């Protein structure tokens, strides 16, 4: 059995929308063990949320499963590692009072309840403020005259909250911060002029805080963001074997970890992360010509500007249909694992026609700001001439996961934003070829997938922690990833096929027309 020096390993944790995952990497940056926990958001009182109990139960279960995996593979007890870091779904709203009490239930990125605030702030700042952003949630609470606002002492994100509890430090990485409030990439801090504008905007409320006082501090990739405390160690490891004092990297969101996991942090590189939500990140060489409500401007973990197209809906509807098919199979005594089920269904979709045979799917389970929806109603639509086969239906499901993304990416194409390399990662790409082939068709561009693509953000967070631990003097994150992590990395690149591109474009044309039916469904169902 292979022996491992665990002091040379690095732990990355990510709290994704449907899965919490912990991955341990070795000194060669290769994943050597992992553990996960499946969870799901709740829709309570008109709010998409997760309870803090679910956060800690899930983290502890994922970590316990990692410990179990280490024991099975290496016959060793995991008590320490060289460094660690925590990532999570970006944005959202977690406000705390001076005693550290959460004032309202966690409002996640998935909520589309801040339209008024987002619109007013976008106009005020001359900078697109999406509904997901923390500042939009805060200002909407102010507009709603919510009682808790006067008691706020600190607001943060899910990654920032977990990091705070593990280390005692109220900080986030700059990429995560850029989904809370606009960043000035020149000063690598919150935009001072916009901070002042916000304070002036709410001055008549006479709150006992200023916005700059309640936002978390900002750390850059490579900086230390504290160390695991004894309390934090016990929060993570309920068996109390984990040592305290482990260095912890700045907490980053799934945007930053996705870019890192795919070596897409340099200018002219792009990345698509696809799971419960789907979003693209393109590192910019210069500013866009104007403000686009469909395009978020965030940053890399080192503060470089990034154009982001974020779509709330990706695989949730496909996952629901897969569960239904699994239930139907069980009626006939066929018990199929989730992994085998998805592999077979994804591969079956390849037998479908390039334009899905006229079968239409709109996968909006929740609102979709890119196309102007505050709520969603998943639809399957077909005409009498449609060829309604399993393969066409599955292909339409998978096309729909990236249709809205394509609408946003077309804006960047019109802006002539250069992309030399487009990478994919996340659960949609776990089955080889399928998601990669469809994304290449949607983007009409070659798409590369690395062998670590299925590891997702937890792997990216581990790499950021490794960079903090091992970087050389003056060594940039871009250089570290290019030369020490991904040099000689195994992956695959698929170029788009003409028939697939034409088929996807035909599907997208019908998809955009079908949004009128989606609008009627939201209004009447």
SS3 at position 275: coil
CATH code at position 117:
3.30.420.40
pTM for the full model? 0.84
Q: Identify the pLDDT of residue 221.
A: 97
Is the residue at 478 inside a domain? no
- CA quadruple 234, 237, 240, 245: dihedral positive or negative? negative
Cα–Cα distance measured from residue 478 to residue 483, given in angstroms and rounded to the nearest whole number: 9
Q: Identify the pLDDT of residue 1.
A: 54
Is the residue at 111 inside a domain? yes
Is the residue at 110 inside a domain? yes
Cα–Cα distance measured from residue 273 to residue 262, given in angstroms and rounded to the nearest whole number: 10
Is the residue at 114 inside a domain? yes
Residue 166 contacts residue 248 (beta carbons within 8 Å): yes
Q: Identify the pLDDT of residue 276.
A: 85
Question: What is the rounded radius of gyration, in angstroms, for the C-alpha atoms of the chain?
Answer: 22
Q: Identify the pLDDT of residue 463.
A: 97
Is the residue at 2 inside a domain? no
Is the residue at 149 inside a domain? yes
Residue the block writes with tokens 């106009």: 123
Is the residue at 324 inside a domain? no
Comparing CA positions, the residue from 408, 173, 413, 192 lying closest to residue 300 is: 173
Is the residue at 243 inside a domain? no
Domains identified in the chain, total number: 1
Q: Mean pLDDT of residues grouped by 10 in the chain (525 residues)? A: 83 94 95 95 94 98 98 94 96 97 96 94 96 97 98 98 98 97 95 98 97 98 97 96 97 92 90 88 91 92 93 94 96 93 97 98 93 94 96 98 96 92 86 94 91 76 97 94 86 93 98 97 96
Residue 375 contacts residue 522 (beta carbons within 8 Å): yes
What's the token pair of residue 24?
């341990």
Residue 200's domain comprises 91-156+181-214
Comparing CA positions, the residue from 434, 192, 195, 409 lying closest to residue 292 is: 409
Q: How many helices (H) and strands (E) does the chain have?
A: 16, 24
Question: How far is residue 469 CA from its own chain's centroid?
Answer: 24
What's the token pair of residue 201?
């905007």
Q: Identify the pLDDT of residue 369.
A: 86
């Amino acid at each position: 059995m292979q022996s491992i020096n665990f002091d040379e390993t690095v732990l990355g944790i990510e709290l994704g929308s449907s899965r919490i995952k912990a991955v341990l990497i070795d000194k060669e940056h290769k994943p050597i063990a992992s553990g996960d926990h499946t969870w799901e958001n709740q829709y309570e009182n008109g709010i998409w949320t997760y309870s803090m109990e679910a956060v800690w139960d899930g983290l502890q279960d994922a970590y316990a499963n990692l410990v179990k995996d280490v024991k099975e593979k290496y016959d060793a007890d995991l008590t320490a590692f060289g460094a660690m870091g925590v990532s999570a779904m970006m944005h959202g709203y977690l406000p705390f009072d001076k005693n550290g009490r959460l004032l309202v239930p966690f409002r996640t990125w998935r909520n589309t309840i801040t339209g008024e605030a987002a619109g007013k702030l976008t106009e005020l700042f001359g900078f697109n403020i999406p509904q997901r952003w923390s500042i939009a949630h805060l200002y909407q609470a102010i507009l709603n005259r919510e009682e808790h606002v006067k008691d706020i002492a600190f607001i943060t994100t899910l990654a920032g909250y977990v990091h705070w509890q593990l280390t005692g430090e109220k900080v986030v990485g700059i990429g995560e911060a850029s989904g809370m409030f606009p960043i000035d990439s020149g000063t690598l801090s919150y935009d001072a002029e916009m901070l002042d504008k916000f304070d002036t905007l709410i001055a008549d409320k006479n709150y006992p805080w200023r916005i700059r006082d309640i936002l978390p501090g900002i750390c850059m990739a490579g900086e230390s963001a504290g160390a695991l405390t004894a309390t934090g160690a016990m929060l993570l490891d309920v068996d109390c074997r984990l040592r305290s004092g482990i260095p912890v990297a700045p907490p980053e969101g799934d945007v930053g970890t996705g870019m890192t996991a795919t070596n897409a942090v340099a200018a002219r590189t792009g990345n698509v992360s696809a799971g419960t939500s789907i979003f693209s990140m393109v590192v910019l060489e210069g500013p866009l010509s104007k403000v686009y409500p469909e395009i978020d401007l965030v940053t890399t973990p080192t503060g470089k500007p990034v154009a982001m197209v974020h779509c709330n809906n990706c695989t949730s509807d496909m996952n629901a249909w897969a569960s239904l098919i699994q239930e139907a199979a069980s009626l006939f005594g066929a018990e199929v694992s989730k992994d085998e089920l998805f592999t077979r269904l994804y591969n079956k979709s390849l037998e479908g026609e390039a334009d899905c045979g006229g079968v239409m799917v709109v996968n909006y389970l929740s609102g979709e700001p890119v196309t102007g929806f505050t709520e969603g109603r998943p639809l399957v639509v077909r005409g009498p001439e449609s060829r309604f086969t399993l393969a066409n239906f599955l292909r339409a499901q998978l096309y729909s996961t990236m249709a809205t993304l394509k609408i946003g990416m077309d804006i960047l194409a019109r802006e002539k934003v250069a992309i030399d390399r487009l990478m994919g990662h996340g659960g949609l790409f776990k089955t080889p070829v399928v998601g990669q082939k469809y994304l290449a068709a949607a983007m009409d561009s070659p798409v590369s997938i690395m062998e670590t693509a299925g590891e997702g953000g937890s792997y990216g967070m581990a790499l950021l922690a490794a960079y903090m631990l091992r970087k050389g003097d003056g060594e940039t994150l871009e250089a570290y990833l290019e030369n020490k992590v991904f040099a000689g990395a195994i992956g695959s690149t698929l170029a788009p096929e003409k028939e697939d591109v034409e088929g996807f474009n035909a599907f997208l044309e019908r998809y955009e027309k079908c949004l009128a039916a989606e609008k009627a469904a939201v209004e009447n169902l």
